Structure 1
Amino acid sequence: MRLAVIGTGYLGAVHAACMAELGHEVLGVDTDPERVDALAAGRTPFYEPGLPGLLKRGVDAGRLRFTTSLTEAAAFADTHFVCVGTPQRPGSGAADLSHVEAAVDGLAHALPFSGYQHVLVVGKSTVPVGTADRLARRLHTAAPDADLAWNPEFLREGCAIRDTLRPERIVAGVRTAHAETRLREIYAPLLAAGIPFIGTDTATAELVKLASNSFLATKISFINAMAEICDATGADVTTLAEAMGADSRIGPRCLAPGLGFGGSCLPKDIRAFAARAEELGCGESVVFLRQVDEINTRQRRHTVDLAEQLVGGSFEDHGVAVLGAAFKPFSDDVRDSPALAVADAIRRRGAQVRVHDPEAIDNARAAYPELQFALDVTKTCERADVVLHLTDWPQYRELDPAALGAVVRTRAVVDARHSLDPVAWRAAGWTLRAPGRPRLGRPEGARAVLRSQGIWEPAWSDSGHERTH
């Protein structure tokens, strides 16, 4: 089938490449000519494992190409996926839908000249409930025969290709039987592999994404709230999470305590959900999401306080090494990064802060030019008075604490992701602190249980990515 993908940012580029991998002819559309040229050459403006190779395979096979022209897209395909961003509106928790509206309006003006009948526009962007109905009315004004459906994405940065080609479910909010039939045809290879297809109305489809992300954010903030209780009582949050996760009704996923969630999805999605609920007159039903957001932010302050305790109560004239800048591993995304928020807070308290990350240094430097950065872990930690482990990259777990201890000024580390081995680090002479673990013992808990089962789970996970995510 011929498909157009409107918007080739993170979501759009991944979706376009994966649809070409499924055998469809795909045309990606973006307003940025430089991005279009880069994608056509198999280069991505962001880090996502496996995506460059997938792009190149689609382009070389002739199934994938890119353009800046919506008119060309309208003439090329009868199905158009809208994959543009919905960031948080400045000064408000609500979602900014200007990119989605511009994409649909642009298509609406181009479609009457496309020559196709029964055109289907499919939204994949995360939007407030009720958006699809409103956009459908706008679409029908210019293109009366066009149909609109909503097919939310559930990608985790770092494993987005797997989440597209082997999703846990496909949700399709449709207004007509024809739209559902078209989507079933598009995803036929996945349905043949046993992937569940959940057909519903557009409002429910919109809510599935927001409700899923809100539930995951709540679960993450809940275990981090328990970490605060553990600090106050002497209990161990990782053992608590392990025992809770053994209950099949709860499960261990997203129950790993740590620095909390960040990125471009979970924080803004729960705020947008709460804002939309207030517009609908039922804000009290999701008032707990405000507390979820506050707990998540408080984890960052708590991590700063732990580090400050380790340097004697003041950061002034102390060196701090930060391991991690991306909001999660296997990504170079630093939007709402907990690691960088902590690093900058410590800098503002008077410390000399040096940051390392395997992939996100360039983005981090652009976002936080006041911080110092290094491309080597050893250089990052030279003469540091405390080391902070803030992004759960696998290579940080594999560090030799004895070798690293030879370059720091003080062997003190805050493991905000609960994945360093406290026995090994203490044996090498380090003082190790972690939120919710006042008496450190075995490095186990919900995350360790998942790894023992052969499942790698980042410190947070969101339904749009990251299964933060």
Structure 2
Amino acid sequence: MVQFNNNISVIGTGYVGLVSGACLSEFGMNVICMDNDLDKIEKLKNGEMPIYEPGLYDIVKKNMNQGRLNFTNDLKYAVENSTVIFIAVGTPPLEDGSADLQYVLDAACEVAKYMNGYKIIVDKSTVPVGTGQKVKAKVRDVFNARNVNYDFDIVSNPEFLREGAAVKDFTHPDRVVVGVESKKAEEIMKQIYKVLYIISVPFVITNLETAELIKYASNAFLATKISFINEMANICEEIGADVHKLAKAMGQDGRIGSKFLHPGPGYGGSCFPKDTKALVHIAKEAGVRSEIIETVIKVNDAQKERMISKIKNRFNNDLHGRKIALWGLSFKPETDDLRESPALYIGKRLIEEGAEVNVYDPIAMDNCQKFYSEIQFNYCKNEYEACKNAEAVVLATEWNQFRSMNLNEIKSNMKGALFLDFRNVYEPQEMKKIGFDYEGVGRK
């Protein structure tokens, strides 16, 4: 067996990098998390989390105290004191939908500058097919400039983390995907994740290109399920069917499964929108049409706009001066992530249509004020304040606390009685008994 000293570094302390580094230290690895952002590093050293993710703080604090997790902005130190180096930097979308590899390739070049022996460079970022080979070429270019020739391996190890459940997803994954080109790298990667063998997690060992594509294919398929059930919901509304009964029956078919068959205002977040567009671009570059994925993207865009139409139709297509309460800003519960959030899109569009929007979200309002200050929301201290004198409530993110409201008090605070439940949290008949003019998604 190849001997491995358990020394790892993670380049980038964003969502993926921080969760990965913390959980790898929980697996018993000695982890150095490196980031160029000195302010972020200092805050992490003081136990301040840059993201909201349940359970992450406890793992970071525990492993820092036990000496297995450290933070630095010194890349040289991180590289020289690690055998395995995970690259977990951003790959934001370019205008054509492709992934911007600038940060990944720059990180690879910087790592190569300080390599002092055999290293494994692991692509943890979501990257298009062929990135591993590009990273390999960049490392060799730097070696030529340095006039050195160290042995190294490139590995693709995509992440499958759900925001709000990332710690559980890392420590109890459905599978671990490892793309390798050498037996040595395969053995070391298996040692890193050896604690997962105890809980019988399956490992998929493949080549770089297949591993790179697996992440995109997985997310595109899940996005397809969401767009499909939203199309079914729209049909249900027109013919008087109930999408929840439909989805339940479909999900009981073992070939289909129940997950991601939940109708709503469309998917959002940091992965599905970016990854579906990137997969379309990958297919085009390969000379292959990706008609299903292209349609999934169009359906999702149309679904968000359909929610706006639902609201406008209730006010004779004129929202000027209408006061509307918006519950939720994040793209899903248990996160403060606003990227591609349908809830944020709805709120912004309502303001563009002339409405006054009172908004409340348990976690994401600070991020909204910080990154979307141009949107003139009225930020409220709770759901009840948001509903004061409102003509309508729009439930856009299904935070658990929105499921157990005093609905009689909510209605008494309102000027109108319209309740637009875009996550189907409440039962229509119960809402009507209280006196709400209720409308959900996919239920007539």
Alignment of 1:342-381 (within 5 A): 342-369=346-373, 370-381=376-387
Paired position in structure 2 for 1:467: none
Q: Indicate the residue corresponding to 2:320 in structure 1.
A: 316
Deviation at 1:423, TM superposition (A): 2.9
Aligned-residue offset at 1:373? 1.4
Q: Relative to structure 2, which stretch is displaced further, 213-222 or 370-379?
A: 370-379
Residue 207 (1) aligns with residue 213 (2): yes
Q: Is the 8 A contact 1:311 1:386 kept in 2?
A: no
Find the partner of 2:292 among 271, 284, 288.
288
Structure 1 position 119, deviation (Å): 1.0
Query: SS at the partner of 1:127?
Result: coil
Query: Which of 161, 164, 169 is residue 163 of structure 1 equivalent to?
Result: 169
Matched, 1:62 2:67: yes
Counterpart-to-counterpart distance in 2, 1:264 and 1:252: 23
Q: In the TM superposition, what whole-angstrom CA distance separates every residue of 1:410-450 from its partner, at most 9, and x where no partner exists?
A: 11111111122323322211111012211xxxxxxxxxxxx
Deviation by residue 1:17-73 (Cα, 9 ceiling, x = unmatched): 111111111100000001111112221111101111111111111111111111101
Distance, in Å, in 2 between the alignment partners of 1:405 and 1:269 is: 41
Q: In the aligned structure 2, how far is the partner of 1:368 from the partner of 1:425?
A: 33
Report the Cα distance in structure 2 between the residues aligned to 1:299 and 1:401, rounded to whole angstroms: 27
Once the two structures are superposed, residues 179-223 of structure 1 have per-residue CA deviations (whole angstroms, 9 ceiling, x without a partner) of 100000000111222111110001000011000000000110001
- C-alpha deviation, 1:144, in angstroms: 4.2
Q: How does 1:419-434 map to 2 (within 5 A)?
A: 419-434=425-440
Between the aligned partners of 2:387 and 2:192, the Cα distance in structure 1 is: 50
Task: Please list the CA deviations of residues 216-240 of structure 1 after superposition, one character each: whole Å capped at 9, or x if unmatched.
Answer: 0011000101111112222221111
Q: Structure 2: which amino acid aligns with 1:268? A: K
Aligned to 2:333: 329
Pairwise CA distance, 1:287: 2.1
Displacement of 1:313 in angstroms is: 3.4
Contact 2:105-2:138 at 8 Å conserved across structures: no
What code does the residue aligned with 1:85 have? G
Aligned partner letter, 2:220: S
Does the CA contact (< 8 Å) of 1:149 and 1:175 recur in 2? yes
Return the match for 2:24 from 3, 15, 19: 19
- 2:254 matches 1:254: no
8 Å contact kept, 1:94–1:271: yes
Does residue 110 of structure 1 match 2:111? no
The one-character-per-residue Cα deviations of 1:80-121 (angstroms, maximum 9, x if unpaired) are 0111111111x221111111111111001110xx3x3x3111
Task: Give the residue type in structure 2 aligned to 1:348.
Answer: E
Structure 1 residue 304, shift from structure 2 partner: 1.1
- 1:7 equivalent in alignment to 2:12: yes
Does the CA contact (< 8 Å) of 1:6 and 1:84 recur in 2?
Answer: yes
Contact in 1 for aligned 2:76/2:114 (Cα 8 Å)? yes
- Indicate whether 1:418 and 2:424 are aligned: yes
Give the 3-state SS of the residue equivalent to 2:419 in structure 1.
Answer: strand
Alignment-derived partner of residue 136 in structure 2: 136
Q: What is the root-mean-square deviation of aligned Cα atoms in Å? A: 1.1
Give distance in 1, aligned partners of 2:358 and 2:20: 36
Match in the other structure for 1:151: 157
Which deviations, in whole Å up to 9, do the C-alpha atoms of 1:129-188 show, x marking residues without a partner? 111112112223325411110000000000100000011100000010001000000001
Look up the equivalent residue of 1:68 and give its one-letter code. Answer: N
Q: Which amino acid aligns with 1:23?
A: G
Secondary structure of 1:406's counterpart equals: helix
Which residue does the alignment assign to 1:31? Answer: 36
What residue identity is the alignment partner of 1:67? Answer: T
Q: Which residue of structure 2 lines up, in the alignment, with residue 51 of structure 1?
A: 56
Q: CA deviation at 1:312?
A: 4.1
Paired letter, 2:159: E
TM-score, reference length from structure 1: 0.90
**Distance in 2 between the 1:367 and 1:231 partners?**
36
**Aligned counterparts of 1:76 and 1:402: Cα–Cα separation in 2:** 61
Q: Is residue 72 of structure 1 aligned with residue 77 of structure 2? A: yes
SS at match of 1:218: helix
| Structure-2 residue corresponding to 1:82 | 87
Q: Corresponding residue for 2:398?
A: 392
Look up the SS of the partner of 1:332 in the other structure: coil
Identical aligned residues as a percent: 38
- Contact 1:310–1:386 (CA<8 Å) still a contact in 2? no
1:302 aligns with 2:306: yes
2:3 aligns with: none
Task: State the 1:344 CA deviation.
Answer: 0.8
Name the aligned partner's letter for residue 407 of structure 1: N
CA distance in 2, matches of 1:416, 1:170: 34
Tell me the equivalent position of 2:198. Answer: 192
Superposed displacement of residue 316, structure 1: 1.4
Give the letter aligned to residue 77 of structure 1.
S
The amino acid of 2:138's aligned partner reads R
Q: What is the identity, as a one-letter code, of the residue corresponding to 2:71?
A: F
2:273 equivalent among 267, 270, 284:
267
Ranked by relative contact order (alpha carbons within 8 Å, sequence separation 6 or more), the top structure is: 1
Paired residue total: 431
Q: Provide the secondary structure at the position in 2 that maps to 1:158.
A: coil
